[in-house]
């Protein structure tokens, strides 16, 4: 595994960051925090990240922020402890003077107030389905909204409400389905009761009944689940799902099964296998995140580390690296010049590393 | 024209050098004998692009010629176009919307240095303040015209920092190419293949003529005129076709030649041999077009100027096409001619010199 | 500590240490790491313990990609050309296939060597910093090892060795990588040759060349020794002169050669036993080495920098007809003798694995070479095509050589796709993954940022060339949306048409029409004048195009034509609801014009529309005027037509 280097961007949220999200090409960044603010950052032509917008998005901690597909313009969605989710669009104002950039600010296009509890996750659907937004809440309801006119982001209709029996903490759309296949969503629950069955549920939209139907409950995951994400699909017929729970990181494959029952009902039947299980964090895993090709998974957890797992085959995943914070700081340019270690340009500095030892595992 | 009908002319030699950047524009330095080997390049797609001045070093024993950099200039944005004004000055168009006038200066030590003599900063921009790419430049003596994605035409002169004239919203679509038909007349083309002729003396901001490249929305990618017959205009487009107009007559194309597989990146007539044309494409083709039976005069026609490019329909039969270099499968972004040498920049981050072409 | 345990990298930040980390992937090959603490909905929404005191930062993390260095970048480009040639050679299925592949393997190596030369030249320059110089030296070490390993793999896995007699090839390899002995010999001989043996390099050079089997050079050096006239030197020279050689050309069989060799070494042993070389320790040592005497070979170890130098020499004299598949055991032996079994460096391990024909281990080790996968990708590819990897398929379950090769191509291609300029090269590698390449391109191509239309066109062309039409359309749509945000409606419309997006096209047409209602000006007329067949993309656009035509006819004074067009528009189903009042109002001047524009039938059509649309509020103040004008026109028309009939 080769060396890592990092670039520091000071974001100055007044509280911890809950989520960082990048747009499709990685040139814009949105951060949201317990301080109720959302900030948007842009990379300029010199390669530096600058703050272009900052606004108080909610009246309580903002849990998640996510970008819509660039075909819809510059659009963000957020969800919060304040029981709402919101859709934001960037407006560029009139030019204050010749050749000066117009002021850019984000306006709230809609506030979705249907939930009676904290909205724990918000995700845009795959664009093949149109402009869809799904939220899940602590009361265990999945809500699917649609903007029937994609040019008008103020109008969203609540298309479906799906009641799960457990409070939900996370939601993921399956990105790999084209317009020909029905949409699929997986949700996870962080309910602490370990005796009430599986905590991950897979739903599919049925064209026949025009409803979202539960396909599967993943019953071997009984610990509270905090994050869940489908992997991007490299043309495989099966789906890959990563789950972060109190115990470990799990990677599962969901393979569609062909049989008569399936042909009749029109619903997909899935054969679910656990192909990777990692307790390297030694405790609760908070987040999982896939890379663009679905070949690398990062997870973060109680041990304060970011861990990376690489695919060596559909059924073979291996940990490849980990990162953790240490007490030092990124040297400023002046400090770097003084130290003989200044191997990189001021922007990127190499990360030091240590070999793993037992101590870190708990 | 299919490439199997183009033969490879083996009477020249080919030298390639990897330069670690993608060259978008390459231009020989014009002028006398001392300039013979000097050329200028502008790069694209790098985090920081450069404009470089190069010379060639010839190693006779190894039959090797390779270029080396004399001077390098860091450039803001992609280099979208380079046009020489004279031996010592050339203009560059940037994707940041600026136009720069660069100078090849000779220092007291005898070394040559590229420096930014003058710039017209961000003269292409959108109404919401975002930068617009300046897509092309045209030069007539000391005057310049620039066009951009903002649909704006800027008239500049090398003698002044100010924009002489700016035609906002000259086009509702992005402008891609421009050329001077006469000192006060320019031709522009836009994303849809709409061609407009502008009279720069006129006070109104409307074109004098408008015509289409083709019936469908095809984007012209390059525009040139014949060295001795300026009314003969040729456009290469994104589908690989070459269209010819005789603007003396009318604005309907005289002929259309389906030439390349990919989009045509550049076309040049040879300045000294105007019956020869060179073109390069995104499919990696670089071709030399020559009129067959050059020495045979056209019987019965007193006008020895009858240009084969003006012949309707049977142009194909009157031309021979040679492939100057086997295709590497990567786009040839740019080419330029100097006597019997052709130099080109390829998307594999290399520069190729083709020596000794048959003219 | 096994290589398999994940290494831990340290983020230099106090807040990260105290709070813990969160991570998000950033397209294409980076991820963002930030200080994060898990909060659940059950906790109170109060500031965390980490609020406000510490400055928080997001850290963008990426692998150090050494390949982006300008010198190594040339290697990336040049080798991609060779890669493409390998693929086309494979598909051409020529009879010369094996020979072609070998040539290409050599081409890869010469590209690496050219790169090493460039790196050396760069180090010699005086305008670089010390840390840059260190970096370059690192690169030289890495790529030197790569070339060394590649060369051995070429010999063992790609080249076709007649009879598997591998020694000549092995010697070539060692000679190539330890050229100093030949160089030193040349230096010595070209200089002052009197009493050459007094030169401190003399005997080391003799032994060095001896171990590489360069007998001619050894003899030349010995001849320069001032003691050459003595009998012991003469005897050694004679012995060396009569050394049997094996090569395929002189066509003696391997058995014959073995016999000759046995003869020759036995003879030397007799001479040694008779103490004929005893007067010169070095010469005696040379002879003892030839006969394979253990102590002699133990003594000679100090002349060998590496175990494979030792191995080559030892095999040359003791097992000259060694077969390639026997190398492994002798390699292990050499390692044991040189006592480096516990100190093996990475390069040593790879070379040993190669000699043991353990390709799996070779590939596993190569992956740790920190040059971002360049080596394993290209080597695995060429080994796969030469058939060497398929051996592994029997050994490991669920393994195919194809899948392994593709996983490396995917990794390497993805790295390149993340570079602003090298993405075009990255595409080449993904194109040659049969199973997953196209989908990878489909996932990665939309992630390439573009800020100019030229780049948009390039990306679109790459998508279209691979029939990824939805990706092409998406890029057109994005550019259209951008143009709209910039106020360039005409340009947005052009891109909407390119993306074949009907709803978007209609939306833009609506914008133009609504703006006309607002300020009386029709935008982008240059575009509307020349829509051509594109108009058919959406009904709204057809209407807009026709309406524009209507305007032009009116301005040109062609009222009759104008009228015809208006009637056909009214009768069509494509008039937008909000535009009825405008359209009908524009009928008024035509109804009232001196020249009779509308026929009786036309007027009925207008009146019919008025009846249908009378509820429209905007029409309220005009409806009476319209009714009157229509009525008047009707009477004029009827009269006119009556006259005609007469």
Asked whether the predicted pLDDT for residue A29 surpasses 70, the reply is: yes
pLDDT at A102: 61
Q: How confident is the model at residue A330 (pLDDT cuts 50, 70, 90)?
A: low
Is the model more confident about A235 or about B257? B257
Nearest to C419 by CA among B284, B349, A342, B26: B349
Q: What are phi and psi of A245, to 5 degrees?
A: -130, 180
Q: Do residues C483 and C471 make contact, with C-beta atoms less than 8 angstroms apart?
A: no
Average pLDDT, chain C: 89
Partners of A170 in the β-ladder: A188
- How buried is residue A204: exposed, middle or buried, by Cβ count under 10 Å (0-12/13-18/19+)? buried
Question: Are C186 and C306 members of one domain?
Answer: yes
- Are residues C421 and B329, on separate chains, in Cβ contact within 8 Å? no
Name residue, tokens 């020559």: B290
CA distances from B344 to A105, B6, B26 (A): 45, 19, 7
Question: pLDDT (tens digit, 9 = 90+) per residue, B129-169?
Answer: 889 999 999 999 999 999 999 999 999 999 999 999 999 99
**Tokens at B252, concatenated:** 């309907």
Average pLDDT, chain A: 86
Q: For B125, name the nearest residue in chain A, comparing CA atoms only.
A: A99
Nearest to A81 by CA among A26, A25, A34, A20: A34
- Are residues A313 and C403, on separate chains, in Cβ contact within 8 Å? yes
**Tokens at C363, concatenated:** 């590939």
If you average pLDDT over residues B269-295, what whole number do you get? 87
Asked whether the predicted pLDDT for residue A177 surpasses 90, the reply is: no
B151 reaches C (C-beta below 8 A): yes
- How buried is residue C557: exposed, middle or buried, by Cβ count under 10 Å (0-12/13-18/19+)? exposed
The b-or-e profile of C41-60 (16+ CB within 10 A means b, else e) is: beeeeeebebbeeeebbbbb
Q: Would residue C4 count as lying in a domain?
A: no
What is the C-alpha to C-alpha distance for residues C345 and C359, in angstroms, rounded to an integer? Answer: 18
Interaxial angle between packed helices C180-190 and C215-223, expressed in degrees from 0 to 180 and rounded to the nearest 10:
30
pLDDT at A129: 80
- Expressed as residue numbers, the domain containing C240 is 169-355
Asked whether the predicted pLDDT for residue A68 surpasses 70, the reply is: yes
Nearest to C511 by CA among C488, C477, C533, C530: C488
Asked whether the predicted pLDDT for residue B299 surpasses 50, the reply is: no
End-to-end CA distance of chain A: 24
Q: Would residue C1 count as lying in a domain?
A: no
Q: Would residue C7 count as lying in a domain?
A: no
A95 reaches B (C-beta below 8 A): yes
Among A51-60, C32-41, C516-525, where is mean pLDDT lowest?
Answer: C32-41
Q: Which residues of A touch B98 (CB under 8 A)?
A: none
Is the model more confident about C393 or about C207? C207
pLDDT at C1: 32
Is the model more confident about B23 or about C609? B23
Q: Do residues B265 and B222 make contact, with C-beta atoms less than 8 angstroms apart?
A: yes
Question: Are C80 and C22 members of one domain?
Answer: no
Q: How confident is the model at residue B9 (pLDDT cuts 50, 70, 90)?
A: very low
What is the C-alpha to C-alpha distance for residues B349 and C421, in angstroms, rounded to an integer? Answer: 9
3-state secondary structure of A31: strand
What is the C-alpha to C-alpha distance for residues A6 and A325, in angstroms, rounded to an integer? Answer: 12
Among B229-233, C310-314, C463-467, C605-609, where is mean pLDDT lowest?
Answer: C605-609
Contacts 24+ apart (CB under 8 A), A129-133: A129/A179, A129/A183, A131/A68, A131/A72, A132/A159, A132/A183, A133/A77, A133/A85, A133/A87
Question: pLDDT (tens digit, 9 = 90+) per residue, C555-597?
Answer: 898 888 898 899 899 888 889 988 988 888 888 888 888 888 8
pLDDT at C52: 62
Q: What are phi and psi of A167, to 5 degrees?
A: -65, 140
Question: Are C150 and C176 members of one domain?
Answer: no
pLDDT at A12: 82
- How buried is residue B17: exposed, middle or buried, by Cβ count under 10 Å (0-12/13-18/19+)? middle
Question: Are C278 and C342 members of one domain?
Answer: yes
Question: Are C246 and C283 members of one domain?
Answer: yes
Partners of B51 in the β-ladder: B42, B73
- Are residues C73 and B191, on separate chains, in Cβ contact within 8 Å? no
Among B329-338, C59-68, C170-179, C222-231, where is mean pLDDT lowest?
Answer: C222-231
Question: Are C523 and C592 members of one domain?
Answer: no
Q: Which of residues 208-267 of A touch C (CB under 8 A)?
A: 226, 232-235
Partners of C61 in the β-ladder: A6, C31
The tally of domains found in chain C comes to 5
- Are residues B122 and A99, on separate chains, in Cβ contact within 8 Å? yes
Question: pLDDT (tens digit, 9 = 90+) per residue, B55-91?
Answer: 988 877 777 788 999 999 999 999 999 999 999 999 9
Maximal C-alpha separation, chain B:
63
Q: How confident is the model at residue A327 (pLDDT cuts 50, 70, 90)?
A: low
C455 reaches B (C-beta below 8 A): yes
Q: Would residue C5 count as lying in a domain?
A: no
C521 reaches B (C-beta below 8 A): no
Asked whether the predicted pLDDT for residue A238 surpasses 60, the reply is: yes
Q: Do residues A239 and A230 make contact, with C-beta atoms less than 8 angstroms apart?
A: yes
If you average pLDDT over residues C401-423, what whole number do you get? 94
The b-or-e profile of C278-317 (16+ CB within 10 A means b, else e) is: eebebbbbbbbbbbebeebbeebeebbebbbbbbbbbbbb
Asked whether the predicted pLDDT for residue A225 surpasses 90, the reply is: yes
Question: Are C155 and C178 members of one domain?
Answer: no
Nearest to B141 by CA among B124, B154, B159: B159
Question: Are C563 and C534 members of one domain?
Answer: no
3-state secondary structure of C54: coil
Asked whether the predicted pLDDT for residue C126 surpasses 70, the reply is: yes
Q: What are phi and psi of C159, to 5 degrees?
A: -70, 155
A47 reaches B (C-beta below 8 A): yes
pLDDT at A2: 64
DSSP structural state of residue B324: S
**Tokens at C407, concatenated:** 């996983």
What is the C-alpha to C-alpha distance for residues A205 and A225, in angstroms, rounded to an integer? Answer: 23
Average pLDDT, chain B: 88
Share of chain C above pLDDT 70, in %: 96
Nearest to A24 by CA among A76, A102, A92, A95: A76
Question: Are C535 and C415 members of one domain?
Answer: no
**Tokens at C329, concatenated:** 């055991």
Q: Do residues A62 and A38 make contact, with C-beta atoms less than 8 angstroms apart?
A: yes
- Are residues A101 and B129, on separate chains, in Cβ contact within 8 Å? yes
Partners of A30 in the β-ladder: A21, A40
Domain architecture of chain B: domains with CATH:
21-258+285-295+307-318 (2.130.10.10)
Name residue, tokens 């080396």: B68
Q: Do residues B266 and B334 make contact, with C-beta atoms less than 8 angstroms apart?
A: yes
Please name the member of B95, B171, B210 whose beta carbon is closest to the beta carbon of C451: B95
Q: Do residues A184 and A239 make contact, with C-beta atoms less than 8 angstroms apart?
A: yes
Asked whether the predicted pLDDT for residue A81 surpasses 90, the reply is: yes
Per DSSP, chain C holds a count of helices (H) and strands (E) of 32, 4
| Number of residues that this document lists for chain C | 646
Question: Are C344 and C381 members of one domain?
Answer: no
The b-or-e profile of B135-162 (16+ CB within 10 A means b, else e) is: bbbbbbeebbbbbbbbbbbbbbebeeee
Please name the member of A47, A94, A99 whose beta carbon is closest to the beta carbon of B47: A47
Q: Would residue C164 count as lying in a domain?
A: no
Q: Which residues contact A341 (CB under 8 A, 6 or more apart)?
A: none
pLDDT at C5: 63
Question: Are C39 and C83 members of one domain?
Answer: no
Question: pLDDT (tens digit, 9 = 90+) per residue, C334-375?
Answer: 999 888 888 899 999 999 999 999 998 999 999 888 789 999
pLDDT at C248: 64
Question: pLDDT (tens digit, 9 = 90+) per residue, C200-245?
Answer: 888 999 999 999 999 999 999 988 888 888 888 889 999 999 998 8
Report which secondary-structure segment, H or E, holds B119: strand B112-120
Q: Would residue C9 count as lying in a domain?
A: no
Question: Are C210 and C279 members of one domain?
Answer: yes
On the CB side of C632, CA atoms within 13 Å amount to: 15
Report which secondary-structure segment, H or E, holds C346: helix C346-355
Please name the member of B47, B76, B128 whose beta carbon is closest to the beta carbon of A102: B128
Q: Would residue C3 count as lying in a domain?
A: no
Q: How confident is the model at residue A345 (pLDDT cuts 50, 70, 90)?
A: very low
Q: Do residues C455 and C471 make contact, with C-beta atoms less than 8 angstroms apart?
A: no
- Are residues B96 and A45, on separate chains, in Cβ contact within 8 Å? yes
- Are residues C74 and B349, on separate chains, in Cβ contact within 8 Å? yes
Q: Kindly give the pairing relationship between strand A17-22 and strand A28-33.
A: antiparallel
pLDDT at A329: 56
Q: For A11, name the nearest residue in chain C, comparing CA atoms only.
A: C57
Q: Would residue C335 count as lying in a domain?
A: yes
- Are residues B196 and C526, on separate chains, in Cβ contact within 8 Å? yes
What is the C-alpha to C-alpha distance for residues A212 and A183, in angstroms, rounded to an integer? Answer: 9
Q: Of B345, B348, B350, which to mutate for an interface test with C (greatest number of C Cβ within 10 Å)?
A: B348
Question: pLDDT (tens digit, 9 = 90+) per residue, B188-243?
Answer: 999 999 999 999 999 899 999 999 998 888 999 999 999 999 999 999 999 999 99
Q: Which other chains touch chain C, taking contact as 3+ CB pairs less than 8 Å apart?
A: A, B
Q: Do residues B17 and B348 make contact, with C-beta atoms less than 8 angstroms apart?
A: no
What is the C-alpha to C-alpha distance for residues C284 and C271, in angstroms, rounded to an integer? Answer: 10
pLDDT at C51: 62
Domain architecture of chain A: domains with CATH:
164-351 (2.130.10.10)
pLDDT at C633: 86
C110 reaches B (C-beta below 8 A): no
Does the ipTM exceed 0.90? yes
If you average pLDDT over residues C272-297, what whole number do you get? 90
Nearest to C483 by CA among C449, C529, C451: C451
Domain boundary among C331, C355, C379: C355
Residue C117 burial (CB count, 10 A): 12
pLDDT at C199: 84
Domain boundary among C410, C430, C447: C447
Domain boundary among C355, C372, C394: C355
């Amino acid at each position: 595994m080769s060396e890592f280097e990092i670039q520091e961007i000071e974001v100055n949220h007044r509280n911890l960051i809950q989520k960082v999200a990048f747009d499709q090409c990685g040139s814009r960044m949105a951060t949201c925090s317990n301080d109720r603010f959302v900030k948007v950052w842009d990379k300029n032509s010199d390669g530096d990240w600058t703050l272009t917008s900052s606004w108080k998005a909610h009246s309580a901690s903002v849990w998640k922020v996510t970008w819509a597909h660039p075909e819809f313009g510059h659009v963000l969605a957020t969800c919060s402890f304040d029981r709402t989710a919101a859709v934001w669009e960037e407006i560029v104002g009139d030019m204050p003077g010749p050749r000066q950039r117009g002021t850019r600010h984000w306006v709230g296009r809609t506030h979705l107030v249907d939930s009676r509890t904290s909205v724990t996750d918000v995700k845009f659907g795959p664009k093949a389905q149109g402009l869809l937004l799904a939220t899940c809440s602590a009361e265990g309801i999945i809500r699917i909204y649609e903007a029937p006119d994609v040019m008008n982001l103020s109008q969203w209709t609540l298309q479906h409400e799906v009641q799960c029996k457990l409070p939900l903490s996370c939601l993921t759309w399956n990105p790999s389905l084209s317009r020909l296949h029905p949409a699929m969503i997986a949700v996870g629950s962080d309910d602490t009761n370990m005796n009430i069955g599986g905590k991950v549920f897979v739903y599919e939209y049925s064209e026949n009944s025009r409803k979202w139907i539960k396909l599967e409950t993943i019953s071997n995951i009984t610990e509270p689940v905090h994050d869940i994400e489908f992997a991007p699909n490299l043309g495989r017929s099966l789906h890959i799902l990563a789950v972060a729970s109190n115990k470990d990181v799990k990677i599962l494959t969901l393979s569609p099964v062909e049989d008569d029952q399936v042909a009749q009902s029109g619903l997909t039947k899935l054969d679910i296998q656990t192909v990777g299980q990692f307790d390297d964090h030694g405790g609760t895993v908070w987040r999982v995140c896939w890379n663009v090709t679905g070949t690398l998974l990062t997870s973060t957890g109680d041990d304060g580390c970011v861990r990376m797992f690489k695919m060596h085959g559909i059924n073979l995943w291996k940990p490849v690296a980990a990162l953790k914070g240490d007490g030092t700081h990124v040297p400023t340019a002046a400090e770097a010049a003084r130290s003989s270690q200044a191997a990189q340009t001021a922007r990127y500095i190499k990360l030091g590393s240590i070999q793993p030892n037992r101590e870190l595992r708990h | 024209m299919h490439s199997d009908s183009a033969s490879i002319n083996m009477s020249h030699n080919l030298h390639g050098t990897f330069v670690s950047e993608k060259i978008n524009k390459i231009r020989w330095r014009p002028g006398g004998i001392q300039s013979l080997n000097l050329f200028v390049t502008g790069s694209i797609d790098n985090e920081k692009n450069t404009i470089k001045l190069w010379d060639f070093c010839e190693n006779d024993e190894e039959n090797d010629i390779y270029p080396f950099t004399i001077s390098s200039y860091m450039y803001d944005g992609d280099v979208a176009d380079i046009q020489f004004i004279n031996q010592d000055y050339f203009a560059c168009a940037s994707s940041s919307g600026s136009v720069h006038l660069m100078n090849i200066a000779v220092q007291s030590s005898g070394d040559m240095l590229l420096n930014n003599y003058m710039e017209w900063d961000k003269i292409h921009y959108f109404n919401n303040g975002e930068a617009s790419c300046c897509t092309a430049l045209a030069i007539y003596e000391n005057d310049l015209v620039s066009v951009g994605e903002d649909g704006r035409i800027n008239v500049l002169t090398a003698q002044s920092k100010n924009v002489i004239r700016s035609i906002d919203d000259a086009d509702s679509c992005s402008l891609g190419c421009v050329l001077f038909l006469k000192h006060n007349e320019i031709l522009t083309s836009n994303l849809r293949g709409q061609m407009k002729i502008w009279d720069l003396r006129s006070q109104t901001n409307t074109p004098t003529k408008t015509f289409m490249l083709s019936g469908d929305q095809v984007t012209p990618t390059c525009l040139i005129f014949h060295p001795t017959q300026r009314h003969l205009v040729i456009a290469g487009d994104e589908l690989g076709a070459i269209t010819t107009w005789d603007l003396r007559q009318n604005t309907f194309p005289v002929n259309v030649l389906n030439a390349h597989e990919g989009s045509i990146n550049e076309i040049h007539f040879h300045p000294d041999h105007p019956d020869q044309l060179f073109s390069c494409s995104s499919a990696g083709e670089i071709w030399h077009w020559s009129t067959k039976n050059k020495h045979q005069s056209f019987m019965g026609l007193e006008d020895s100027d009858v240009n084969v490019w003006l012949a309707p329909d049977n142009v194909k039969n009157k031309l021979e096409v040679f492939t100057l270099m086997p295709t590497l499968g990567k786009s040839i972004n740019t080419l330029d001619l100097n006597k019997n040498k052709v130099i080109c920049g390829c998307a594999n981050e290399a520069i190729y010199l083709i020596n000794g072409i048959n003219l | 500590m096994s290589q398999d345990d994940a290494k831990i990298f340290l983020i230099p930040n106090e807040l990260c240490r105290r709070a813990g980390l969160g991570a998000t992937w950033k397209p294409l090959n980076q991820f963002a790491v930030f200080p994060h603490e898990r909060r659940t909905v059950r906790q109170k929404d109060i500031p965390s313990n980490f609020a406000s005191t510490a400055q928080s930062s997001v850290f963008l993390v990426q692998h150090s990609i050494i390949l982006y260095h300008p010198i190594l970048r040339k290697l990336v480009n040049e080798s991609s050309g060779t890669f493409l040639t390998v693929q086309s050679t494979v598909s051409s299925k020529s009879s010369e296939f094996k020979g072609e592949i070998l040539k290409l393997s050599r081409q890869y190596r010469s590209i690496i060597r050219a790169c090493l030369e460039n790196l050396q030249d760069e180090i010699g320059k005086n305008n670089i910093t010390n840390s840059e110089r260190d970096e370059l030296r690192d690169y030289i070490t890495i790529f030197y090892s790569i070339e060394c390993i590649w060369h051995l793999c070429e010999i063992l896995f790609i080249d076709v060795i007649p009879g598997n007699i591998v020694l000549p090839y092995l010697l070539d390899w060692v000679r190539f990588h330890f050229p100093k002995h030949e160089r030193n010999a040349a230096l010595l001989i070209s200089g002052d040759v009197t009493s050459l043996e007094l030169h401190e390099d003399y005997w080391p050079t003799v032994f060095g060349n001896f171990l590489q089997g360069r007998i001619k050079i050894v003899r030349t050096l010995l001849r320069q020794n001032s003691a050459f006239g003595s009998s012991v030197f003469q005897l050694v020279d004679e012995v060396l002169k009569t050394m049997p050689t094996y090569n395929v050309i002189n066509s003696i069989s391997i058995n014959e050669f073995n016999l000759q060799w046995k003869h020759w070494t036995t003879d030397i042993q007799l001479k040694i036993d008779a103490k004929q070389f005893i007067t010169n320790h070095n010469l005696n040592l040379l002879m003892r080495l030839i006969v394979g005497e253990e102590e002699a070979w133990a003594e000679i170890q100090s002349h060998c920098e590496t175990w494979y130098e030792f191995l080559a020499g030892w095999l040359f004299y003791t097992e000259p007809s060694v077969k390639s598949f026997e190398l492994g055991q002798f390699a292990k032996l050499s390692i044991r003798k040189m006592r480096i079994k516990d100190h093996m460096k990475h390069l040593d391990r790879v070379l040993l694995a190669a000699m043991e024909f353990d390709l799996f281990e070779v590939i596993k080790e190569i992956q740790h070479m920190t040059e971002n996968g360049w080596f394993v990708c290209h080597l695995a590819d060429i080994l796969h095509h030469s058939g060497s990897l398929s051996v592994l398929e029997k050994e490991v379950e669920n393994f195919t050589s194809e899948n392994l090769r593709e996983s490396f191509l995917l990794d390497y291609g993805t790295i390149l796709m993340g570079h602003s300029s090298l993405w075009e090269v990255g595409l080449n590698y993904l194109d040659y993954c049969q199973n997953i390449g196209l989908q990878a391109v489909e996932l990665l191509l939309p992630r390439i940022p573009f800020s100019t239309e030229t780049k948009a066109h390039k990306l679109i062309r790459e998508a279209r060339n691979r029939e990824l039409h939805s990706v092409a359309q998406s890029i057109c749509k994005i550019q259209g949306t951008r143009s709209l945000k910039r106020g360039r409606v005409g340009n947005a419309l052009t891109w909407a048409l390119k993306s074949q997006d009907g709803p978007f096209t209609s939306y833009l047409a609506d914008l133009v029409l609504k703006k006309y209602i607002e300020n009386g000006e029709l935008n982008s007329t240059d575009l509307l004048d020349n829509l051509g067949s594109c108009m058919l993309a959406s009904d709204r656009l057809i209407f807009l195009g026709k309406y524009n035509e209507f305007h032009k006819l009116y301005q040109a004074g062609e009222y009759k034509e104008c009228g015809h067009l208006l009637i056909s528009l009214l009768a069509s189903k494509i008039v937008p609801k909000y535009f009825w009042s405008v359209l009908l109002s524009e009928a008024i001047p035509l109804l009232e014009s001196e020249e009779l524009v509308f026929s009786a039938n036309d007027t009925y059509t207008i009146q019919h529309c008025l009846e249908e649309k009378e509820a429209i509020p905007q029409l309220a103040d005009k409806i009476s005027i319209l009714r009157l004008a229509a009525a008047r026109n009707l009477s004029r028309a009827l009269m006119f037509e009556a006259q005609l009939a007469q």
